[in-house]
Amino acid sequence: MFEYEAGPASVRLALVIVAVSLGMFITLIPFASTPLAALPWFIPLHQPVLVINDLITTTLLLGYFRLVRKHCILILACGYLYSAVMATVHLLSFPGVFAPAGLLGAGPQTTGYLHVFWHLGFPVAVIAYSFLKQADRTADRPGAATAKAVLATLACTAVLGLLATVGGDWLPEMLKDNRYSSVFNIGRYGQWFVTGLALAILFTRRSASTLDMWLVVVLSAWFFEIGLVSVFNAGRWDVGFYAGRIYGLVSSSFVLIMLLTEHGRMHRDLAEAQASVRTAARLQEAQQVLRLALAAGKMGVFSWDLVNQRAWWSLEVEHDILGLRPGELALVPDALMPFVLAEDRERVQAQARDCIGNRRECDVEFRLCDAQGNLRWAFARGKAGYDDSGKATVVFGVIGDITERKRGEAAAAEMEVHFRTMADELPEIAWMARPDGWIYWFNRRWHEYTGLSQREAEGWGWRQVNDPALVPTIVAKWRHSVETGEPYEMVVPLKGTDGRWRQFLSRAVALRNNDGQIIHWFGVNADITMQTEAEQALKLADQRKDEFLATLAHELRNPLAPIRNAAVLLTRMPGLPANVERALAVIERQSRHLARLVDDLLEVSRITQGKVSLRKSEVSLIDCLSDALHAVESTLKAAGHEVLVHLTDDPLLASADATRMVQCFLNLLNNAIKFTPRGGVISVTAERLPGQARIAVSDSGIGIPPEHLKDIFGLFSQVTPALERSQGGLGIGLSLVKGFVELHGGSVEAASEGPGCGSTFTVCLPLLERPADAPPASHDAGRDAGREARHHPRRVLVIDDNRDAANSMVALLQAAGHEVREAHDGQTGLALAFDFEPEVVLLDLGMPGMSGFDVARELRGRTAQPAPRIIAVTGWGQESDRRLTREAGFDFHLTKPVNHTELDVLLSMSMPAPEQAAAPLRR
């Protein structure tokens, strides 16, 4: 800052200050020794201002020293610090200020010597500054150098201060009664001489810097002040004493103001310099970024001077695009044209002329051949500048290599052709949509099938060929997929050009970019009309199969019913011959076997359709297993098998359908009996495992080949070698076991070591956690109730169009002590019911004329008498048949041939009271 060259204004101002100071000095010399009144407050007011000025100047110079690190600045700062400290000591020792002899307790000579020491130090510092400035020495560590210099300055002021105060009585007298003595002449002329010498050295060695110019002003003021205060006056309290100090104070303040002004300018210059540095850095950074951008984009820049027909091309244009060496491209606007392909040259020139003439931005793509003969694609984008008259004077712009982009576009176009060709050959309808769901493309199959053009079908036009009733659902589902990004899937009917509707499975998935954003939707509509029709045909066939099975069961049960009834009736006759009893046993056993086959066939049909409903209750699996063993007891004896039973004392309580469990165990036992040669061994075990029961049925029979183990539970499965020794069967027993066990949450598996090694079937079922002292309800109640049936004779009406079945049922009921009437059609039965007033009606369903359902509704419609208990006895046993009987008002549903034990239980049940007749018991 202070070494900046002083401007003309600053020089003129300094000369004016020196001239004014000199004029004042000359004017005041004749009056300098004129005595004035003593003003004790003058020194306390004057010298603190001087001290503050000097300290501020010291601070500014020390700050500048930290920037430039020059020793000359440090010496000058120490001179100002010395002046400030000595002025302070002079103030504190001045008689009458703060104390009669001064605060420091000095003698009358102290202030005189302090004034001399004070005014000698600063000129000496200026002389040192002048010589050190020429040497241009700098400090490596400005902080340490500053500390040392300040300490040295303070030490010097301390020594001189002590000498003037403590040793004041030892020094020659300078003042006698406030008047200067002859001894003071040495001091006052000495300091005046040193100041003049400093001024001369500074002036002869001065540079044109602002600091030197101001030091000349300061030393001039210093010289004039000493002259007034010490040379031309007579002592204290005269005109020179006051005028010199006032003059020095004003000069010092003015110079300090100039220093502060210059310091502010320094900070302004520094800020501008820093801003320039930052601007330069940003400019350099921008240039680097521009170069990187140009390199990354394979671009270069150019400018044309249209007035002088001169051009400038960047290095990227020459080297990276044209393959030339730097400076090889001619510096004229048309230098690029020889590299442009002849087919594109006229178009490029015409567009450039048009853009310049119409003041539009030029943007053109063209082909060029570089210096190595390589074909390239390039683009040029430029803009012209115009003078005040509207004439184009300059053109500037960019040129870029877009060869890779063009290759990519060509590859993409080729891929697009391949994609469209492939999509058009698809037998399915293909389509694409924007992220917002707007369908913008269909393949050829769409147009062939619907007859809609691209324009007619795009967007939401595809709704024209959809079922109007389904359009809202289709649109809602499609919009949901568009909003959530979830795949779209729906079966939709589409109308073809022939007017027929065909079923299509419509699917669409979102195509996303690397950021996961949807960029397209791709969908396919597959014609599934044949599959749909095949499914419907399968459902129809399955329905017909169920109807066939139901009809077959009905037709088989109808002849079985009178056979079973007749056999049971004969077995209840006493005194039959032995051969007759054996024949009846055969009839009973074989009819029961045939009935079981029919039941199994219907049961497996229900399981495969998921129509089986379990009536679960708390049952003992041990009781179920015992019932099954009891049921096959006669069969086991006839086959001559040895049975080993190992049952646990634990009842094995489970939540299960007792009838289904007995059926499962009965099928496993029958399977073991059938496939074990006579005299074999069958083992039955039951045990508790953690949370489940394990029940195993093992035999010493023909075994199962390993390749058949995985299929043994399949529907109609038969092990081929077993056919020779099989006692018949449809091969559905094990399938029923698996179905019922899995419905109960259990599992079943088969194991065998091979043919002739027997087999083991293991059932695992979940158990209930129940205290051991709480036994389950016994399911033997039915048998007990059956045994008690004879003690409750009923009035029973039998209505069945099968006379054999009706006659045999009537004979059985009469043998059991019941009062029975018989009818063979619905009308007759209804008339008998009004006259006979039966308690129980055994009613067949399928009868000519008036069906059993109609008869039941008529009976339920009666209000004069209590309604009877109506039991369906029919060959129809599917769940749908049972539901119909419940809806028609039947209380129970029994299938032919009737289980007489179950029938006895139903007959033995107490009848509802008359007031309960309107709400009959429903099963």
Pairing mode of beta strands 892-895, 869-874: parallel
Q: Which residues contact 792 (CB under 8 A, 6 or more apart)?
A: 907, 908
Beta strands of 54-208 (E only): which ranges?
175-176, 179-180
Burial (0-12, 13-18, 19+ Cβ within 10 Å), 325: exposed
Residue 361 CB: number of other CB atoms within 10 A?
10
Tokens 């045994």 locate to 787
Pull the structure tokens for residue 22: 């000199």
The CA distance from 646 to 389, in Å, is 121
End-to-end CA distance of the chain: 115
Cβ proximity of 445 and 420 under 8 Å: no
List, as one string, the DSSP characters of 429-492: EEEEE-TTS-EEEE-HHHHHHH---HHHHTBTGGGGGB-TTTHHHHHHHHHHHHHH-PPEEEEE
Rounded distance between C-alpha atoms, residue 50 and residue 28, angstroms:
22
* Greater pLDDT, 109 or 395: 395
Q: In sequence order, what are the residues at sequence separation of 6 or more whose Cβ sits closer than 8 angstroms to the Cβ of residue 332? A: 309, 310, 311
Residue 567: the pLDDT is: 75
pLDDT at 180 over 70: no
More confident position, 79 or 203:
79
How many whole angstroms separate alpha carbon 433 and alpha carbon 457? 12
Q: Which helix (H) or strand (E) holds 114?
A: helix 110-135
The residues with which 719 forms a beta bridge, in sequence order, are: none
pLDDT digits (tens, 9 = 90+) for 829-838: 888 988 888 9
| Amino acid 152: pLDDT | 92
> What is the rounded distance in angstroms from the CA atom of residue 830 to the CA atom of residue 492?
53
- The position carrying tokens 């310091």 is 263
Phi, psi of 816 (to 5 degrees): -85, 0
Q: Alpha helix (H) ranges present in 166-238?
A: 184-205, 210-226
Convert the pLDDT of each residue in 350-384 to its tens digit: 888 888 888 888 888 999 998 888 898 998 988 89
Angle between helices 8-28 and 239-296 (to 10 degrees): 170
Sign of the dihedral through C-alpha 232, 234, 235, 237: negative
Helix, strand and coil in the chain, % to nearest 5: 55, 15, 30
To the nearest whole number, what is the mean pLDDT of the chain? Answer: 79
Percent of the chain at pLDDT > 90 equals: 12
- Nearest CA to 504 among 454, 537, 470? 470
pLDDT tens figures, 564-578: 777 777 777 777 787
pLDDT at 1 over 50: no
Q: What is the DSSP letter of 646?
A: E
200, two tokens:
């001369």
CA-CA distance, 864 to 818, in Å (whole number)? 24
Burial (Cβ within 10 Å: 0-12, 13-18, ≥19) of residue 33? middle
- CA dist., res. 462 & res. 440, Å (int): 11
Tokens standing for residue 343: 């087919």
Q: How far is CA 478 from CA 89, 257, 437, 467, in A?
A: 97, 82, 8, 15
Please check the confidence at residue 102 and state whether its pLDDT lies above 80.
Answer: no
Q: CA 915 → CA 340, 867, 910, 920, distances in Å?
A: 112, 10, 14, 10
Sign of the CA dihedral running 202, 204, 209, 210: positive
pLDDT for 95 beyond 70: yes
Ranking 36-40, 287-291, 637-641 by mean pLDDT, the lowest is 287-291
pLDDT at 696 over 90: yes
421 token code pair: 């060709």
Q: Is the pLDDT of residue 305 over 70?
A: yes
- Structure tokens that stand for 653 in this block: 């309580």
Say how far apart CA 903 and CA 264 lie, in whole Å: 123
pLDDT of residue 535: 83
SS3 of residue 20 by DSSP? helix
Residue 903: how many other CB atoms lie within 10 Å: 22
- Give the phi and the psi of residue 696 in degrees, each rounded to 5: -125, 140
How does DSSP classify residue 775? P
Spatial distance between the Cα atoms of 580 and 570, rounded to a whole number of angstroms? 9
Residue 764 has pLDDT above 90, yes or no: yes
Top-confidence residue, 281 or 51: 51
Q: How far apart are CA 802 and CA 822, in angstroms?
A: 11
Residue 762 backbone zone (phi > 0: left; psi -120 to 50: alpha; other: beta): beta
Report yes or no: 644 and 607 within 8 Å, Cβ to Cβ.
no
CA proximity to 895, closest of 396, 553, 422, 403:
553
Q: What is the C-alpha to C-alpha distance for residues 41 and 499, in angstroms, rounded to an integer?
A: 123
Which residues lie closer than 8 Å to 843 by C-beta, 6 or more apart? Answer: 799, 800, 829, 852, 855, 856, 870, 871, 872, 873, 890
Provide the H-helix boundaries in 761-916: 781-787, 803-815, 826-836, 852-860, 879-888, 900-908
Q: What is the mean pLDDT of residues 129-143?
A: 81
Question: What is the per-residue pLDDT for 921?
Answer: 31
Q: What is the pLDDT of residue 317?
A: 85
| Encoded tokens for 25 | 């000095």
The pTM score is 0.38
What pLDDT is attached to residue 734? Answer: 80
Residue 688: phi, psi to the nearest 5? -95, 130
More confident position, 423 or 392: 392
Over the stretch 704-724, which tens digit does the pLDDT of each residue have?
Answer: 888 777 777 765 555 544 334
What's the confidence (pLDDT) of residue 479?
Answer: 92
Q: Are the C-beta atoms of residues 206 and 5 closer than 8 Å to each other?
A: no
3-state secondary structure of 607: helix
Residue reference for tokens 């240039």 = 287
In single-letter form, the type of residue at position 62 comes to L
Q: 196, exposed or middle or buried, with CB in 10 Å at 0-12, 13-18, 19+?
A: middle
Q: Are strands 795-799 and 892-895 parallel, antiparallel or unpaired?
A: unpaired
The more confident residue out of 807 and 608 is: 807
Q: Which of 897, 906, 913 is nearest to 816 (CA)?
A: 906
Residue whose C-alpha is closest to residue 844's, from 863, 822, 813: 822
For residue 123, is the peptide bond before it cis, meaning its omega torsion is within 30 degrees of 0? no
What is the H or E stretch that residue 369 is in? strand 362-369
The pLDDT of residue 788 is: 42
Determine the Cα–Cα distance for residues 843 and 853; give it in Å rounded to an integer. Answer: 9
* Main-chain phi, psi angles of 762, to 5 degrees: -115, 125
Cα 58 from Cα 61, distance rounded (Å)? 5
Question: Which residues, including other chains, have CB under 8 Å from residue 309's CB and lie 6 or more apart?
Answer: 332, 333
SS3 state of residue 732? coil
Tokens of 65: 């020293």
Residues in the chain: 923
pLDDT number for residue 725: 40
With vertex at residue 809, the alpha carbon angle to CA 806 and CA 812, rounded to the nearest 5 degrees, is: 150
Structure tokens at 67: 């920037």
CA dihedral 196, 199, 201, 205 (to 10 degrees): -160
